[in-house]
Structure 1
Amino acid sequence: MNDIQAENSRTEPPATTSTQQSCQPDLHSVLREMSAMLAELKVEQRHTTTAVNNMENRLRASESQVEELRKKSGGAESEKSSSSEELKDLKISLNKQVEKLKKENQAQAVNQSVMEARFGTELEELKTKNDDLETSFNSQVQSLNKEIQERKVAFSASLSRGEAGHTGPYNTEFPLVYKHVFTNIGNAYNPATGIFTAPVRGVYYFRFTAHGFGGKDVSVVLQKNGQHIVEALVIQPQDRLSSSNGVSQLLEAGDVVCLKLRANAWVFDTAAHHCTFSGQMLFSL
């Protein structure tokens, strides 16, 4: 500054006192302004430095965050990659299980179809067997009912229907027809012919009575298939007389039993039913 003033003093003509006085305040003003500006610049520089430092700190912090994010991103990518691999493996495993289940389901469907077909066939066979058994059972029931009905055999009849009179004498054996029926369970006795026909094989018991007057024989014979079995006989010169007899016989189904009046004998019956013919099955064989 002094050098500049020295040069100015050598080159310029000497100033007047008023000029020196007017320039000196301007210089001080400029210096003050420049000092103020310099101070402001220093302040601004400090602010700028502070801002730069802050920016640098923020930049370093950002770089640290970026690095951390990169690390995290790398870990996340690794985890993502690992998760993707696990998910892929899980999908493969699930697909395999699904395929296995589909195959098992198909196999079960086939087995079910086979079982349904077999059960359907077996059911039809069982229905057929059941129908056969039912038919057989019904047949057996009917047969048993018939047999039970056939086992219920009992009859009793008298010679007279209510009229009084003699039967006989005849010169040959004469079949007696007991027309008045008291009971005829099983219808084994025929009141039109006087013949009893055994419905089943079994043991039967027969009993008969003969009534008449004296002077002639009163004789009635029980015959089985035309053969003499037993006889009720009474001989008396006068008055009324009666005789009876009974027998158990093993009969085959279809065997016939009847009563016949002996030749030259007679019987007498009235509404009191003196002459009777009865029989019943004791048990079947």
Structure 2
Amino acid sequence: MKQALLFTLLFAFLIQINGLSIFTDSSGNSSSLLDINDPESKNTDVFRQLLNQETIIRMSLVKNVHALMKDMLDLKKSMATMETSQQKTDVEVATLKQEVDKLKRENQRLELENRRYEETFRAVTENFTKVDEHIQQVMEELEEKRERFETNTSAVLADLKVEVRYLSVTLLDLNKHTLEIDKKFPEMMQEKFKQLSLRLNTSVENLNNDIITTNKTMLQSVSDLENSQNMIQNSISVNISKTLDDMMAEVKQSKYDQLQLSSSVSSLEVFRMNLTNNLLDKPKKVAFSASVRSSSSSWNSGALVFSSVITNEGNGYNPSNGIFTAPIGGMFVFFVNVQTYGSKDIYVDIVLNGSRKVRTMAYGSSGSYSAGPNMVVLTLQRRDAVWVKHYHGSGYYYDGPITTFSGFLIDM
């Protein structure tokens, strides 16, 4: 519609331009050219001037038409921009309509919630009214109870006044009696203290005498027990030796060949020696030393196993699990030394039956190795277990027997 309007305006301007050209014919040739032989050649100048004016007017009109065409193009661009703006406006209007619809729905929802709140508020108001009425009833009941309490309190107070008078008299008598006791109390306490001191001294003397008598009795009993034990051990040893000698004599008289006889005699002699040692002597040499076999940079838990045995007198140390089990009871000395793996840190503990006793630490530094030694003295019972356990850090170093675990029995 807009383009048609623009074309109509352009056509009207063109018609006006053609209509103004009154001095030209339909072929476009100028009609101002006059015949020289025309009697009216005198008016040539006038026509020439008119022709010049027409040419000027045409040129002006052409300029105006070009300007008009430019304005029409600008108008078309403006109209296209207006159409784009109109589309954007339509989109915004649609968006606004959607927002309005949402707001309407939200308003409806809020109205519903407002109605619910109003109903709830109405119910709460009714409840408050009921509670207020109940409170008024309770206040009336409390007022009645208070009046009854005041009446009863008056009667009770009268009775209390009478009781207080009786108590005052009783307290006066008690005060007199207390004053008399206060006068006699120091003498009574002094007498009681003397009696208690005498009894305590007597009891202490009797207890000392009993302790002395008991010590003498216990010493005598221990001495008798040791003598009895020695006699029993000697008797057992003599009997076993005699029995074994008889058995050896019988074996020598048997019909076995010489090889079997020698083997039996040797076995019996070894058995007699072992049995005699077990009955008469306790093993007193218990000692061990062990080392790791290789380095480790990742060891970080459990027992540290020193699998390379150096000494194991008494066979108390187990190189497969790193645990020393006491073959006899007594006082033992244990020593551990752990070498760090490079710059790593390592902390280990010497433990007795799982209980940590002492700890050693080797703190590594850049480019060097560090040693962590420590020693402990422990009193063990037979079958107590001692081992080295990880506490913190990781790794240990091996360059021969440098990371070691040792222990020995102190011969008291």
TM-score (normalizing by structure 2): 0.33
Identify, as 1 or 2, the structure richer in strand: 1
TM-score (normalizing by structure 1): 0.47
Identify, as 1 or 2, the structure richer in helix: 2
Q: Of the two structures, which has the highest relative contact order with CA contacts closer than 8 Å and spacing of 6 or more?
A: 1
